[in-house]
Structure 1
Amino acid sequence: MSYPPPPPLQPMYSADSSALRGASFGQAVQRFWTKYATFDGRASRSEFWYSVLFGVLVSIVFDVLELASNAFYFLAIIYVLAALVPNIAIGARRLHDIGKSGWWQLIALTCVGIIVLIVWFATAEKAEGDKYNV
């Protein structure tokens, strides 16, 4: 009795887990929220930095609104809490893109750690990051 041939091998990662190279502002913000708690995979520089820009713009809007009324302070707190997990997740995915573990974000708790992270976040992708494709 003969058996049918096995199905062809599928890649071990989905296209969604790879970094979105050349992401537009809208695409980056959409992926920031749709990959809310996705710590695996990779994030490109454009995806990461557009997400940072979005966070800065939202912060500026809340700062201006707080001048009008303190009620917006609570909305700002809610936004910060809602964006905490996706910010950590995109940071981990960005570090994966350069071949580093997402746990390296903890060096931000040291005096010079934030400078090191900014340099790493601005670094071009590396082939070592392929191991983080899932």
Structure 2
Amino acid sequence: MQFFDAVRTCLRNYATFRGRAGRPEFWWFMLFATLASMVAAVFGERINLVVTVLLLLPAIAVTARRLHDIDRSGWWQLVGMVPLVGWIVVLYWYVQPSQPGPNRFG
């Protein structure tokens, strides 16, 4: 999946928490969200806040779908809130290869 395809897919599935998202879709969208936030920050704090709020729900949704792709519930992204080690654990899950074939999430 290419950059623009991934961004288009994630924005089209704005609040879709069902299904699966592969590594390219997840990482391309996260890159887009980071770059959009950096560009918005150049234009001011309020613009950055608006962009961040607009991209928050699609980011949570694509993260849930990414975890579904490795056969984990989307709720596991909350592990990232555990101090010190939580973000390391979820980062490890995000880089895992997709599980071949169908799983309980599709």
Q: Which residue of 2 aligns with 1:88?
A: 60
Aligned AA for 1:40? R
CA gap of 1:64–1:89, structure 2 versus 1, over 3 A, is: same
Larger Rg: 1
Contact 1:37 1:89 in 2 (8 A): yes
Q: C-alpha displacement at 1:130, in angstroms?
A: 2.1
* Partner Cα separation in structure 1 for residue 98 and residue 64 of structure 2: 13
Q: Which runs of 5+ in 2 are unaligned?
A: none
Q: Which residue of 2 aligns with 1:74?
A: 46
Deviation sequence 1:84-113 (CA, Å, 0-9, x none): 111110000000000000000111110211
Q: In angstroms, what is the RMSD of aligned CA positions? A: 1.3
Q: Say whether residues 1:25 and 2:22 are aligned partners.
A: no
Q: Which runs of 5+ in 1 are unaligned?
A: 1-22, 66-71
Give the TM-score normalised by structure 2.
0.92
Q: Which residue of 2 aligns with 1:48?
A: 26
Q: Which residue of 1 aligns with 2:13?
A: 35
* Partner Cα separation in structure 1 for residue 105 and residue 14 of structure 2: 18
Q: Say whether residues 1:124 and 2:102 are aligned partners.
A: no
